[in-house]
């Protein structure tokens, strides 16, 4: 699994003109799933994200997690995170899992995030044409790949 985390002051997801997710301070997480992903990847990634200290403390240092600041979270599926761009000018998405494999992993990740965070999170809609708006705070953007843990 690959994830792109953006610390946000606000974020929203709109599908066909309808706002389906809307948060204030917290994280907007784009997640890409590949066929090799397992429950171990889900558990590790959710725990890592919830504990990652990327929010400012009283001294302005990044010492607090999204859990510490009681931040909100939106998770959006994004298969394009697995784009291979080495050859040619048209990205290949061969590593991205097909929907029948990816949807259960995505849903399990959302549930695990809720369990780790201790509250409900918001989502986009898997496979939908989504319009995502955000106000990146910092800017802080972190990329995590569960296949590159060390």
Active site residues: 80
Query: Rounded distance, CA 11 to CA 2, Å?
Result: 20
Determine the straight-line distance between the first and last CA of the chain, rounded to whole angstroms: 15
What are the E-state strand segments in the chain? 2-15, 18-23, 26-32, 55-56, 62-64, 72-77, 122-123, 130-145
């Amino acid at each position: 699994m690959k994830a792109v985390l953006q610390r946000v002051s606000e974020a929203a997801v709109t599908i066909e003109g309808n706002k389906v997710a809307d948060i204030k301070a917290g994280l907007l997480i784009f997640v890409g799933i590949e066929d090799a992903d397992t429950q171990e990847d889900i558990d590790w990634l959710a725990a890592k994200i919830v504990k990652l200290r990327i929010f400012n403390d009283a001294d302005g240092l990044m010492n607090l997690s999204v859990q510490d600041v009681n931040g909100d979270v939106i998770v959006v599926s994004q298969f394009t995170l697995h784009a291979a761009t080495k050859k040619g000018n048209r990205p290949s998405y061969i590593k991205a899992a097909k929907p029948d494999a990816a949807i259960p992993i995505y849903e399990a990740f959302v549930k695990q995030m809720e369990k780790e965070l201790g509250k409900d999170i918001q989502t986009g809609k898997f496979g939908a044409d989504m319009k995502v708006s955000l106000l990146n705070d910092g800017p802080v953007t972190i990329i995590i790949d569960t296949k590159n843990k060390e």
